[in-house]
Amino acid sequence: MTRRTTIYDIAKELDITAASVSRALNNNPKISEATRKLVMETAAKMNYKQNKLALALRSGKSFNVGVIVPRIDSNFFASVIRGIEEELYAHQYHVIICQTHEDDKREYENISTLLNAQVDGILMSVSNISSENTSSENDKIIKRALDKNVPVIFFDRKKNIPGVSSVTINDFDVSYLATKHLIQQGCSRIAHFKGNQNIEIFKHRFNGYKQALTDNGIEFNESYVIQTKSTVAEGADAIKTLMKLPQPPDSLFSSGDFAALGAIQQLKSMGMRIPEDFCVIGFGNEPFTDFLELPMSTIDQVPLEMGKMTAKVFLDQINNTGIKNANHVVLTSELNIRKSSSRNIKSK
């Protein structure tokens, strides 16, 4: 049987102490980058495998991180997870992925399971909350994680819980810009598909839309606002309702791309020309938006960057245990103007 390579073998090969090898393998800041690189290269050549169990016992860390998302069959959440994994892998962490399927009770169970699995941190995007009682219970278990010194980082969807950091985008500002763009295209009856207002990001998107109307002298019309889930079917049903109004809207800013797609399909079936008769902007920059026969204007949520930043916030907290203040990072998103909202109006 071939003997396993140890840190003492690497130390002998490089003529340095075993303690220095150990520090280099564990990214200790006391070791220079040159030495760390040399140790890592030598370890790879000698086929050294770190003993994860011994490392966990010695450091008090499991090197596992829980990630909770509403669903993984979403380009946005899949890209966030990719960013998290890419950032954490370099620091020897592994990711355990859980889905809530927008079920707040399952969210509670996921958090409980991850805590029982001794994860070093929980990175999560909150689910829809169906009741105040459930919300209170979920908040309590998050606070329990903090009491156990397990960092909790919200990304995209968040709650305001003391001690919990977050990584979001500038939902209000970019929604304001999207609505202003529609106004600049000559639209004055702008509809909005809003998300669940118990979730902060959807509230910010609605408020950004509403403020842009006010600042540009357009009266807010509550009948133009419908709460939808971001599905093609709900988008189609919502636009049917809106187009039956005595004075139907001439444009739409949707808080989700799929609902916007449903609206476009329904409008086309009704003989409406886009953007000549009706302008549409979605939210999310789903891959299909750029490959439609009529590319859809939408807002890019920078998911890969969000994932990497969420991991960095976690690493900062786990490596600086004395820091208790929450870190709230707001990333800048981008409004992608495409054909579905571009009338190219010439100035009179």
Helices 33-45 & 18-25 angle (0-180, nearest 10): 90
Each residue's pLDDT tens digit, 207-228? 999 999 999 999 999 999 999 9
Each residue's pLDDT tens digit, 235-269? 999 999 999 999 999 999 999 999 999 999 999 99
Domains 7-50 and 62-169+303-332 share a fold: no
- The class (CATH top level) of 62-169+303-332 is alpha beta
pTM of structure? 0.80
177 touches 337 (CB < 8 A): no
- Domain boundaries, given as residue ranges, for the chain: 7-50, 62-169+303-332, 171-301+335-341
93 touches 105 (CB < 8 A): no
Tokens of 115: 């805590």
- The class (CATH top level) of 171-301+335-341 is alpha beta
Each residue's pLDDT tens digit, 146-197? 999 999 999 999 998 999 999 999 999 999 999 999 999 999 999 999 999 9
Record: fold of 7-50:
434 Repressor (Amino-terminal Domain) (1.10.260)
Rounded to 5 degrees, φ, ψ at 94 are: -115, 150
Each residue's pLDDT tens digit, 48-103? 877 655 565 555 678 899 999 999 988 999 999 999 999 999 888 999 999 999 89
289 touches 227 (CB < 8 A): no
